[in-house]
Each structure stands twice: as C-alpha cells, then as structure tokens.
Structure 1
Amino acid sequence: MNSTLIIFLLYLLLIATPPCSLIASAASNWTLLHSNIGITAMHMQLLPNDRVVIYDRTDFGASNLSLANGECRIDSHDYVLKRDCTAHSIEYDVASNSFRPLMVQTDIWCSSGALMPDGSLLQTGGFNDGDHVVRVFKSCDTCDWVEITSALVKRRWYATNHILPGGRQIVIGGRRQYNYEFYPKLSKSEKAYSLPFLVQTNDPKLENNLYPFVFLTPDGKLFIFANNRAILFDYARNKVLKAYPEIPGGDPRNYPSTGSAVLLPMRIVQGKVAVVEVLVCGGAPKGAFVNAENGRFDKALKTCGRIQVSDPNPQWVMETMPLARVMGDMLLLPNSDVLIINGGSAGTAGWEYGRDPVLYPVIYKPDNPFEDRFEAQVPTTIPRMYHSTALLIRDGRVLVGGSNPHIYYNFTDVLYPTELRLEAFLPPYLDPRCVRSRPKITPDSQTEFGYGNRVVIRFRVVDELDPDSVMVTMVAPAFNTHSFSMNQRLLILEGGNTTKAIGKTKYQVIVTAPPSSNIAPGRHYLLFVVHRQVPSEGVWVKIG
C-alpha cells in the first residue's frame, strides 16, 4: 500500500469519528493568524507576558517588514546588505494577534537560547559577526534587543542551551566546537571546557551531531544525545557518568539529519521522579545529506527510540510512526501528549535538500499501550520544511511558522517558497464539543511558590467533575529552532487526586510544588489543570 493511500485512509478514519465524548473523538484544527509577518520564523521563544520573540537571520537580504521610525541596521560585515532598513526579528503579541519589528544588529542565524529566571530571553551566538555575541530581550512595549559583544569564549553556531538549577545557562557544542561553556560568567577568566563525546560522535566527513539534544535530569545531571548515541554527563565535574547504547539502526538523528526529541512528562510521586524517559523520533538515514547534495533524496526515518534514562540497564525500545519525518518538531502538550509536527518525508536539512512535506501532525500518547500510541491529525495546507518552528502558547494552541529552504528570501521559481505565514494548530482538546469539560483556573489561585510548597489551585468546570481524571501540570516554555525545543519539560504535580468542590461548578485542588531546582529550575512555567485530558488555559507561575 503506497504512502498516499495510507494518508488518505488515516484522514477518512479521522473525519468519520462520532461527536466528541469527553475528548475521545475530538478533532484537531488549524487557523491562519497572519498571511505575512514580514520575516520567516526560524527561531521562537514565548515570554511570560504572552508575547513571542521571533527571528530569522540578518544576511538573507531585505525582509518584507521595515524597521520602525525609518531606522536602518548598519553592518560592514554583512555579506548581503551593509545598510539594511528591514527587520529580521519581531515581537508577536498573542492576545492582540499583532506584531512589531525589532532591531537586531549582528547575525543570529542558527543560534540558541533560553528563558532566564527573570523572564528575559538570553540568546547566544549565531553566524559571522554574531558567533561570539550574547543578546538579551526584556519584553515591554518599547523594549528591543541588547547585544553584548565578545561575551562567549568560543564561537557558537548550531549549539544547544539549557537552563541550570543555579540559573545560569550551559551552552554546548556548535559547528567545530567540541566543548561547552556557561553564561553568565562567574569571572572574566572563565573558560570553555572540553567535551570529547562531541568528537567521538562527529562524522569527520560531515558534522552530524549539531544542535545536540540536551535534557536536565532530576539528579541534576545532563542527558546529551548526539548523532546516534547518548551520555549522562556531570557538567560540574566535567565527567561522563554513563554511556547509553547506540540507538538501534545507528542512523543519525541530529542536524543535518534532524530528527527531534523530548524528555517525556515526569510524574512526581512522594517528592521524587521515579521514571525518566527520553523519546527521539525521525531524522534521515546515514548518507542522506551527501545523497541530497547529488540530487538523490532518501526516505526519512519512520522510527522513534524511547529509553529510560533512570533504568540501571537502559535499552532503547523502538516504535514506528505512521508517517516518516525529517525536520519535524516534537512538543509537549499540557495534557502530557506529545505533538509531532512540521517537516518532510524525504531528504535532509540544509538548503534545497528536503522533499515531500508532511502536512499531517501526529499525536503520541506515551501512556497508551505500545501498539496504540500514535494518532494522525487534520493536515495543514502550508509546507513547513527547513527552518520551520512550532511553539506551545498559554491557551493550549501551537504556534507554527517559518520554512525557508533557500539561502535568501525566495518567493517564486523555487520548489518550496520562503514562508511568511503564521498559523496555529489546535489540538483535539480545543474541539468546541469539549468546552464543557475544560477547566478555567480562577484568579484566587497561587502563582508564586517555593520548592516543596503546598499550592492551592482553584478552578471551574461546567460539566460534572470527574475527580479521578484531574491532574495539574507545569510546562517550561521552550526555545524552538531547527526541530528542537531547548529547555522543554513537563511536570505532573503530586496531589491532583485531592480535588474537592468549594461551590457550584467551582473546585479546589491542593498540589505539592516540585521538590528541587534539579526537577524544576527556578523560572517561569505555565501551569494547567487537566480534566478528562482537556487542559485549562495555562496561568503563568514562578518557582524558586
């Protein structure tokens, strides 16, 4: 049976389902937010005021959005325009569905970042004159980028950042950088530290371990996946604690083979996280990049590997997606599902090297039986190829933008034109038929708390409440670029089964805050009440 027929049958099955009955048959949807935001969304970060910083790169040439007040960027190092009066970054306001241009001076192409404890975006590196630069964006109605030159010890291009328990960021790898460093620096003399694992996983003919997948584990260590292997790393002692088996098949999963990965939702029980699992999905097979350079576009990988990081003898368990996918994004949804979205089904990442867009998102349900975890969703009409992005926002929608498979802004005479449209994917829990099951958190709920604190959350539900189906989740807003959402994590808080009525349609649940900064680094999170797998709108909370 060919892939087109399989997709068609999956869609027929989807639209033939009966009306919603407590989420089981709910349908996803799409909405177009803007037909032209002026730039292509290569990087995105949600801020705690419900605004999203979006940016591409500065040496594409002129964008479709002018800078404010007749400003121009003057950069003698730029390869395309020395004087550029167009924007390459915007701030998107979710509430008003509006955006404004921002000024970024140095090249931020293929950079990295993380949300800091004070709610600002700290962004690191890039290309050309931007590779040693740190940039800070503190959001307000008139705020703009602040750039700190020569702030990094090493050039960082295709690196990965992670926020640490103490509030600093670790910046790992990058092109021809087999090391890591921290920011902010503790002193002017603080150096970068060698990480031989990045040498060991590097193909000498092709760097295929860029944008490594990095996750902070509950014991304060880092799980680092690069190419086709992973380690548990003690960054404080610069020591590898454990080497994990090679993922079965041995195919590379990082840029430019570009699969994606998530740290699966972590459930806190009696103050601990007993099971810590990572899921890695999609990518391109060995040799795909070289083949694409020669005009041959290999079929993308259809497999996912799931591993218990916390297991004394960890082994990969392989699963098969309904659709092959390279350059896909994996996002944690507030009800603990995993969304797989964007990308193509052939080729690899890189200019002109991707083929056959995958228009159908897939939802992965980690707690379902092994043979019943993937669900195909309603398709988009917009190809999202190389340099596309996806981001969870507070109301439960997923913001989707970008796709620029070309060196410059090319809108005609190319296979996949540069994409300036911004759209939103609505997961099944936003089906209007399920609105009565959707909780609404009330303003008398706690939004700031310390580690291990008792936290009182109050909410309303129109339908009769099923107390056994209530859980409270905390989601860390991620920095998304190149098919990886840095710093993404979801915690299921202890105490969701304590829900009780405190009025007509009003309820209270008392949960326990995460016990340590290893499990939840001090910063802003989105907190959701989930009822019958339908999450509320999130509320911003801060822990630390």
Structure 2
Amino acid sequence: MAGVTGVAAMSVLVMVMVVQMVAMMGVTVEAQGSWAVLQKNAGIASMHSAVSHFDQVIMLDRTNIGPSAIKLPGGRCRKQPLERVSKTDCYAHSVMFNPNGGGVRPLYIFTDTWCSSGQFFDNGVLVQTGGDFEGNKVIRTLAPCGAGGNCDWVETGARTTTGRWYASNALLPSGTRQIIVGGRDGPNYEFYPKRFAGEGSFYVPMLGGQDTLYPYVILLPNGNVFFFAGRKSVQINWNNQKTVRTYPDIPGPNRNYPSAGSSTLLPLTWQNNFGQAEVMVCGGAAGGAAKANNVNAPAVASCGRMVMTAANAGWAMSNMPIRRTMGDMINTPDGQVVIINGAQNGFQGWGKANNPALNPVSYNPGNGRYAVLAKTNIPRLYHSTANLLSDGRILVAGSNTHQFYTYTGAFPTELRVEAYSPAYLGAGNNNVRPGIQGYPRAIKYNQVFAVTFGIGARAGGVECVMNSAPYSTHSYSQGQRQARLKTSVPVKVGGGWSVQCTAVPSANVLPPSYYMFFVVQNGIPSRGVWVKQNN
C-alpha cells in the first residue's frame, strides 16, 4: 500500500477486508463476461419468451395494454369485442426476434396472454396456455419457422378445464402431452391434450393461497412430477393422481409469485445414470413484503438445494452475494447456473420494486461457489425474461413496471433487447472454442453416437451437453433441464477430433423434443447445434 495515505488507505483497506470476507463465504468477486444491445426497439416489452429450434426468439406481452411500439403488418387490426382496453387494436403484442441481426417480425395474438404459460411439444410447436379475461382458458400454438418465414399464432379451439392465469407447464415423457399446473383460482393440474374425453382437473391443496402462483414444476427421472409452491413441495404420480411424497419446507419466506424467487433443475449427469435430480431455489421477497406493500423491503439472498430423489431429502442453504427478487436462473452449457435480472428490494407488481440487481451472479453446483459477473446498465424488473441461445449467450428482454406502456419516470417500459456473453465467449477463448463439424440430427435413447469437432491446442476433458429450450416468464424458466452425457476420450480424426457420446436412457430424463447440443472442452462450449431427441 505504498503511496496510499489517509482516507485513500482506509478505503483500500476496507475493500481488501470486504473481498477477504466475501471469499470466506465461498463467493468469488469477478467482473466477467460482457453485454451488448441487440435491438433498441423490439416493439413490445417481453413478458414471455422461448427460443425455437430455428434460433428465433418468440416474445409475447399482454394484449390489454393499449398500443405497443409496433403495428401489425398490412394494416391488419385485431377486433376483439371482449377486449377491455382497445376493442379494435392495430398493434402487435407478440413478435419473432432474430438474435443474429436483430430483426423483428410482428405476430398476431387474438386473446389476452397476460401471465400465461407455455412449453414446446416434441415436434417443435410452442403451446401457449391461458392468460387473463377472454384468454383465461385459451390454448394457442405456434409452429415455428426461420427468419424469412411467415409462421404465426393459431388459436386451437381447445380450452383448459380451469382458467390458467399464473400457471406453469411441463412436457411429459411422451413429448406430445403437457401438464398444466396451478394459477390464480386454480389449485389443481390438468393435461393438454386430455388423456380421455371429458377429463377434468386434479386438486392439490398446496397450490392454493398466497405466494403459490407460477409454481415450479419438474419432471423427475422416475417419471413422476415435482411441484413447489410457496415453501412447500410434493411429488405427484400423474398417472394415478397420487401424492407419493411430501418434502420438508424450504427455510425462509415464500418463494413464488409475488415473492418472485426463481428455481432450476440442476444438471442431470451420466455418473449416476441420470437417476439423481436436484432442485435449486433462490431469492425472493422478504416475508410479508407483498402483504404489507413494503416496496423497500430487502429481498432474500438465500438459496436452497434439495436432491428430490434422495431418501432423506432436505434443503442445503447458502447465500448469494447479491440479494435478489425477480431473478432468472439459466443453466449454461459449462455446467454453471447464471442468476440474472431482478431487484434488490420489493416484490413483483407494478411499481413494487426498486434498487435493480444489475450484476448477474454465477453459481457452480460442483463446489458451491458464487461469482459476481459483469454489470448491465439496463434495469430488468417486473415482467422481464431470460433465455439461453444456442450460441451460448443469454438473451434478456422486457421489464415493464407499469400497467400500460410508459416511457417516462422511474423504470420506464423497456423495449431494448440485449445479450450477456459469459466469460467462456471472451476473445481469449475464440481460438480454443470447439467447433462442431459432424453430428446426428436425431438421436434415440441409449444410442452411442459420434460427434466430430475442431479445436485449438488446449488441455482438459470433453463433454457432450444437451439443454432444453424453456419458456421464460415471471422469474421461472418452465421446462428447463440440462443433461451431461457420457463422453469418450477424444480421438484424432484428420484435422479434428471425434468423441463417442451416449444418449440419456429414457424420456423421463429428456422427453422427446428439440435440444441445444454442445461440445464442452475444459469449460469452453462450442456453438450449439439443434438435435431432435426421439423415442
């Protein structure tokens, strides 16, 4: 500290002490990764988003907000007599966004999609369920297309048994049926499509009440489904509608809407034959903050992990270096979890949060350590989304803390789309990043298949990794899962390398669908390619 005196010396000493104390807590202080704005005006503030296997991002907002910032093409207008704001509406409330170039194409939505849910089918069709008012029981689909296509939303005519506002969806092992869980005034679950004519919904007591909206829903390796709502969680055999297991409550306050914690299934791995499933739940609002309308209440820093498949399952707790409500959790191909977006005070709702959490945080499930990542300058609060792209970036969009589109005042409606590039995409890694050259476009369960790739001179093991394409909304990525496949030692082939990858054993691990496929070498992932997991 030579040359540093007085107040400056004290400041340096305090900073050193803070870094040392944070390190003792298992946290690494690292400003890493980078940000880039991809589009200054996407036309809508993304409330829901999903990435199709054409590498296009489908974004939706509500319809009952009045004008958006993008019109429907060709003078088309939506004439909806049940609409509560604009019965004749010539503005789009859904768009298809191209993350490679920033192009935006308006899409047509007829009924309100406010706080709705969704999931892809095995054929790549995005199913979108529920919403508010006239959209409450509506089921919509979009068969995706590339950047030059003209695909659009279709209302199927099918309806859910119960109104689904703030519900969650998960793909079941068939790949052709989804389970739709919870929602306001919907303490139950049902299926789309129905298993038989006249099938209704099935009551689950823990899905009712405050802080249980947008429940966390996870397909388990045994074929059952895990539900988490508030602080409680159960395992359901959806074939016979039986609750087969009740888990301990997570410590701390409630975690679901409007508390706005977040959750993800940690990576499934070949080392235990994909039989161990572990959930992680992070952050949320302070206990009672929403009920007391305390917009300044400090958010929660705690995270809990629980092995749902363990005989003595219980929560193991840790603290994030940044407290956070309305965060999004993303499984990145290097095996990390990135926690991004949100606020440090308040809870979900219009104007109910402040003090944006501008620094993402990464978490290493292997050693339990956190790292603070590079800061954005754009707050992402209520109604924002985050999705992994196949090139390894994380796309973030949205944030509207107001009832309508409002471009003035604190935290205005956010139309910009940006991408966070983790450190593995840094310039120093360009010459050692694997480049996939040959791979199967479709794989079957237990199949052993070859992948060839080019790579720079670099030491370290190679892994084949598959990531789902979840539906992101309200701090939860519905259907998010990652599988790390058994991978052979690389063999030199011509000017590149080849490995043998072994597919997962069953549809309970990865239901039939399209997945992003990566080759990861010593923590550096390739650009992903899309593969179809078939039965």
State the TM-score bracket (shorter-chain normalisation).
Answer: over 0.9
User: Who is 2:161 aligned against?
Assistant: 153
Q: Give the distance between the partners of 1:316 and 1:290, measured in 2 at CA.
A: 26
Q: Give the distance between the partners of 2:118 and 2:295, measured in 1 at CA.
A: 34
Q: Give the distance between the partners of 1:45 and 1:59, measured in 2 at CA.
A: 21
User: Who is 1:455 aligned against?
Assistant: 449
Maintained 8 Å contact 1:291/1:298: no
User: Who is 2:189 aligned against?
Assistant: 180
Q: Given the alignment, which residue of 115, 127, 130 partners 2:132?
A: 127
Q: How far has the Cα of 1:498 moved from its partner?
A: 2.4
Q: Tell me which amino acid in the other structure corresponds to 1:447.
A: R
User: Who is 1:92 aligned against?
Assistant: 97
Q: What SS class does the counterpart of residue 109 from structure 1 fall into?
A: coil
Q: What SS class does the counterpart of residue 134 from structure 2 fall into?
A: helix
User: Who is 1:103 aligned against?
Assistant: 108
Q: How far has the Cα of 1:26 moved from its partner?
A: 8.9
Q: Which runs of 5+ in 2 are unaligned?
A: 1-10, 20-28
Q: 1:274 to 1:153 in 2, by over 3 A?
A: closer
Q: Give the distance between the partners of 2:60 and 2:532, measured in 1 at CA.
A: 26
User: Who is 1:316 aligned against?
Assistant: 315
Q: Give the distance between the partners of 2:97 and 2:207, measured in 1 at CA.
A: 36
Q: How far has the Cα of 1:78 moved from its partner?
A: 1.2
User: Who is 1:277 aligned against?
Assistant: 278
Q: What SS class does the counterpart of residue 273 from structure 1 fall into?
A: coil
User: For structure 1, which segment, 431-440 or 107-116, has the greater mean C-alpha deviation from structure 2 after superposition?
Assistant: 431-440
Q: Give the aligned length.
A: 509
TM-score normalized with structure 2 length: 0.92
Maintained 8 Å contact 1:302/1:323: yes
Q: What SS class does the counterpart of residue 269 from structure 2 fall into?
A: strand
Maintained 8 Å contact 1:54/1:92: yes
Q: In the TM superposition, what whole-angstrom CA distance separates every residue of 1:273-318 from its partner, at most 9, and x where no partner exists? A: 24321110000122110222xx552100010001111211111111
Q: Given the alignment, which residue of 442, 445, 453 partners 2:439?
A: 445
Q: How far has the Cα of 1:463 moved from its partner?
A: 2.1
Q: How far has the Cα of 1:150 moved from its partner?
A: 4.9
TM-score normalized with structure 1 length: 0.91
Maintained 8 Å contact 1:334/1:528: yes
Q: What SS class does the counterpart of residue 498 from structure 1 fall into?
A: coil
User: Who is 1:528 aligned against?
Assistant: 518
Q: Aligned runs of 1:194-273 on 2, under 5 Å?
A: 194-199=203-208, 202=209, 207-249=210-252, 251-269=253-271, 272-273=273-274
Q: In the TM superposition, what whole-angstrom CA distance separates every residue of 1:169-213 from its partner, at most 9, and x where no partner exists? A: 0000110111111001234412111222323xx2xxxx2100001
Q: How far has the Cα of 1:248 moved from its partner?
A: 1.6
Q: How far has the Cα of 1:25 moved from its partner?
A: 8.2
Q: What SS class does the counterpart of residue 291 from structure 1 fall into?
A: coil
Does 1:29 pair with 2:38? Answer: no
User: Who is 1:385 aligned against?
Assistant: 381
Q: Given the alignment, which residue of 123, 140, 151 partners 1:143?
A: 151
Q: Given the alignment, which residue of 403, 425, 431 partners 1:407?
A: 403
User: Who is 2:424 aligned against?
Assistant: 429
Q: Given the alignment, which residue of 472, 477, 483 partners 1:485?
A: 477
Q: Tell me which amino acid in the other structure corresponds to 2:379.
A: P
Q: Tell me which amino acid in the other structure corresponds to 1:455.
A: F
Does 1:503 pair with 2:494? Answer: yes
Q: 1:150 to 1:523 in 2, by over 3 A?
A: closer
Q: Tell me which amino acid in the other structure corresponds to 1:282.
A: G
Maintained 8 Å contact 1:360/1:377: yes
Q: How far has the Cα of 1:263 moved from its partner?
A: 0.5
Q: In the TM superposition, what whole-angstrom CA distance separates every residue of 1:381-436 from its partner, at most 9, and x where no partner exists? A: 00000001100011000110000111111111x32100000000001101110112
Q: 1:69 to 1:296 in 2, by over 3 A?
A: closer
Maintained 8 Å contact 1:437/1:532: no
Maintained 8 Å contact 1:26/1:433: no
Q: In the TM superposition, what whole-angstrom CA distance separates every residue of 1:442-487 from its partner, at most 9, and x where no partner exists? A: 0x321211111111111100224x3x52111100011000000000
Q: Give the distance between the partners of 2:439 and 2:75, measured in 1 at CA.
A: 45
Q: What SS class does the counterpart of residue 433 from structure 1 fall into?
A: helix
User: Who is 1:21 aligned against?
Assistant: none
Maintained 8 Å contact 1:52/1:93: yes
Maintained 8 Å contact 2:221/2:276: no
Q: 1:355 to 1:397 in 2, by over 3 A?
A: same
Q: Give the distance between the partners of 2:336 and 2:206, measured in 1 at CA.
A: 31
Maintained 8 Å contact 2:30/2:373: no
User: Who is 1:360 aligned against?
Assistant: 359
Maintained 8 Å contact 1:132/1:149: no
Q: How far has the Cα of 1:241 moved from its partner?
A: 1.2
Q: How far has the Cα of 1:148 moved from its partner?
A: 2.4
RMSD of the TM alignment (CA)? 1.8
Q: Give the distance between the partners of 1:88 and 1:533, measured in 2 at CA.
A: 39
Q: What SS class does the counterpart of residue 159 from structure 2 fall into?
A: coil
Q: Tell me which amino acid in the other structure corresponds to 1:361.
A: P
Q: 1:488 to 1:347 in 2, by over 3 A?
A: same
Q: Give the distance between the partners of 2:354 and 2:525, measured in 1 at CA.
A: 35
Q: Aligned runs of 1:334-373 on 2, under 5 Å?
A: 334-368=333-367, 370=368, 373=369
Q: How far has the Cα of 1:149 moved from its partner?
A: 3.6
User: Who is 1:47 aligned against?
Assistant: 52
Q: Give the distance between the partners of 1:382 and 1:254, measured in 2 at CA.
A: 24
Q: Give the distance between the partners of 1:333 and 1:267, measured in 2 at CA.
A: 14
Q: What SS class does the counterpart of residue 509 from structure 2 fall into?
A: coil
Q: Give the distance between the partners of 1:9 and 1:214, measured in 2 at CA.
A: 41
Q: How far has the Cα of 1:9 moved from its partner?
A: 5.8
Q: 1:9 to 1:428 in 2, by over 3 A?
A: farther
